[in-house]
Chain A
Amino acid sequence: MNNRLDSLKDKSKKHLVIYLMAGDPDFKTTEELIYSLAKSGVSAIELGVPFSDPVADGPTIQRSGERALANKITIKDVLGLVSKVREKVSTPIVFMLYYNLIYSYGTGNFVDDCVKAGVDGVIVPDLPYDEEKEFYNHSINKGFYIIYLVSPTNTTDRMKKIVEKSRGFVYYILLKGVTGAQKKLSSDFEFLAKIRKCSKIPVFAGFGISTPAQSAEVAKHADGVIIGSAYVGIIEQYGSKKKQLLLESGKFINKFLKTQTKNIKEKQ
């Protein structure tokens, strides 16, 4: 059983993962953005499914979710979207959503339908690794990857258990708080180094990265970076002007990709 997320094990580059909310500003634009992201060479796409009560998200992603909810986007819609883009796109795609949506859909059906549609894994910020065993076991059986998050506040003991259960990659939360671009990043890179030592799979860092310079700095310490709110901010800014949005999205991604490559060269 091959999972597209296994491609992230490639250590020849620092990976860039981009988050966007399905259905913001509208469904058609999300589809076009996915094509353009895949083409630009990001390592994976994190696709948000909107939820009414996103406790781990800051204002930017909250607003994005509200716009998507106003478009009445459901899990079924987003699964349909992934099926469609899978005809052209082989970039790994993971869902990011809150557990009530999965529970309401039915955990077994959710995993099966994700695999069928070509979704490779899922990030659930309010689901700890040690709850909901059935969902976990079913995912393992179907080769569907649950990506768990590690926080700088976790004990080493718990961190080790999370890393052991995570598949595809480990998501390191760079800062205490919610998602959202920060002007300054003060992160516990020592803990990050410890996580990488324990982990057989890549460790990506996210939360708070807003500029290519910050991203490059973080990439020195991680296998890859995850950009969410900063990118969603572009979508918010140009949402209604589609052509310009695609243009600006492309520019944004290139800036991040460039510094990332440069960073690797410096290290070599």
Chain B
Amino acid sequence: MALPNSKGFFGSYGGKFAPETLRTLVDDLEKEYRKAQKDPAFKKELDYYLKYYVGRPTPLYRADRLSKRFNNAKIYLKREDLNHTGAHKINNTMGQILLARRMGKTRIIAETGAGQHGVATATVAAMFGMECEVYMGEEDTRRQALNVFRMQLLGTKVIPVKSGTRTLKDAMNEATRDWLKNVDNTFYIIGSVAGFHPYPEMVRDFQSVIGKETRKQILKAEGKLPDYILACVGGGSNAMGIFYPFLNDKKVKLIGIEAGGLGINTDKHSATLTKGRTGVLHGSKTYVLQDKNGQISETHSISAGLDYPGVGPEHSYLKDSGRVKYDYVVDNEAADACIMLSKEEGIIPALESSHAVAYLEKMKLSKKDLVIVNISGRGDKDMGTIMEYVNKK
């Protein structure tokens, strides 16, 4: 049976834990999405923009020097960093803004952590001439000042969030509050496979273009499916996007890599699936990092995009079912992997994607292994952090 079920559940995870004020809107969104799924004109429009504006398909690149470094295992990189705006996020914002237009909404809001989803939202809003406001934790506006400026340049108003821990989860809270107030004219473009139904399903579907392309590309290049696919997991949209078209290929091992921060036995990490337990956050039942009383934990990661105490409900389901293996790497390992890939291949990955690259070190690869790593974004935005890291070393 295809998941989620009609109530938005992946096994026991997911659901529609939305305040009543949003209910009608969320139900309408679901109806509109079902209509769009059946409408060839919607697919045609989305495909058009993905090709001519975003720049898809992105290459599946055989990384020879990287392969050599890992015992001549054959390693391919899925180059989502080559999308317009430099990350996979725009695959989803393009899909959602087309839906917003179909629903007659005139105003767009979004939350952002690292700023990549914010930039991807600001970009499509500019392209369609729509008003756009992005909520960003005050702490993150400081860490990612360049992305704040990019959004402003694109005509978006960036609103620093000063409540709670002043990071991604609080930006999501504040965007939800905005939506409650402006429910009539506003569309909320959620950036991850999180939130209330149908967002986890819808974002997965928009992102699964990554996996569909990858499948075709690897079959063409190697004549067979890969042994492993690696992707980083914060909320988990790039991972869901590349994993989803391979879920039924049981021989393909899927590995999601979370942010271990300063170590998973400290309180400074974002390894939700590794260390969290079931709870309800931002509209869905899923693994959540929380204290013994159910208060949501403050998280940490060197990459702002993974710094989130929840995770998409489908990942929770895939963890329990055993179909996907989830593991983690710590800050230093990710930073070192970023530097390594830059030197080996001339590709500077985002610190988020660097977590997936770093996992190669832990795999004891051999010549017979065929591996795909999802490079979900490029590292330009992280230069300040990497500079600090290199100087400290």
Residues of chain A having any CB pair with chain B under 8 Å: 51-56, 58-59, 62, 66, 69, 74-75, 99-105, 125-128, 131, 148-155, 158, 162, 173, 176-178
Contact = CB atoms under 8 A, between A and B. Distances in A.
B20 A131 contact: no
A11 B91 CA distance: 57
B280 A103 contact: yes
A53 B164 contact: yes
Interface string B285-299: 100101011111000
A162 B280 contact: no
Interface of B: 15-25, 163-164, 169-170, 173, 176-177, 180-184, 278-283, 285, 288, 290, 292-296
Contacts of B16: 128, 131
B25 A178 contact: no
27 contacts: A52-B296, A53-B164, A53-B170, A55-B180, A55-B282, A56-B19, A100-B281, A100-B290, A101-B293, A101-B295, A103-B280, A105-B293, A126-B18, A126-B19, A128-B17, A151-B19, A151-B23, A152-B21, A153-B20, A153-B25, A154-B24, A155-B24, A158-B23, A162-B20, A176-B180, A176-B181, A178-B177
Q: What DSSP secondary structure best describes chain A's contact surface?
A: loop
B290 A131 contact: no
Contacts, number: 107
B290 to A, nearest CB: 7
B296 A99 contact: no
B199 to A, nearest CB: 15
A142 B58 CA distance: 58
B20 A149 contact: yes
B169 A104 contact: no
A59 B278 CA distance: 28
Given A53-B173, A178-B181, A126 B280 contact: yes
A154 B17 contact: no
Contacts of A177: 21, 177, 180-181
Contacts of B293: 74-75, 101, 104-105
A51 B19 contact: no
Which of A54, A150, A153 counts the most B-chain CB atoms under 10 A from its CB? Answer: A153
B20 A128 contact: yes
B20 A58 contact: no
- Return the 3 tightest CB-CB contacts between A and B, nearest first: A104-B294, A177-B181, A151-B21
B270 to A, nearest CB: 16
A251 B217 CA distance: 73
Contacts of B182: 176
B279 A151 contact: no
B279 A153 contact: no
A104 B290 contact: yes
B294 A100 contact: yes
A176 B21 CA distance: 6
A135 to B, nearest CB: 11
Which of B23, B177, B181, B279 counts the most A-chain CB atoms under 10 A from its CB? Answer: B177
B164 A52 contact: yes
B296 A100 contact: yes
Contacts of B15: 131
A55 B296 contact: no
A100 B184 CA distance: 28
B173 A55 contact: yes
A186 B272 CA distance: 42
B210 to A, nearest CB: 30
A151 B294 contact: no
Contacts of A69: 295
Nearest to A159: B20
Contacts of B184: 176
A105 B294 contact: yes
Contacts of A153: 20-25, 183
Nearest to B9: A131
B28 to A, nearest CB: 10
B281 A56 contact: no
A128 B284 CA distance: 12
Contacts of B20: 128, 148-151, 153-154, 162, 173
Contacts of B21: 151-153, 173, 176-177
Contacts of B285: 103
B19 A55 contact: yes
Contacts of A103: 278-280, 285, 294
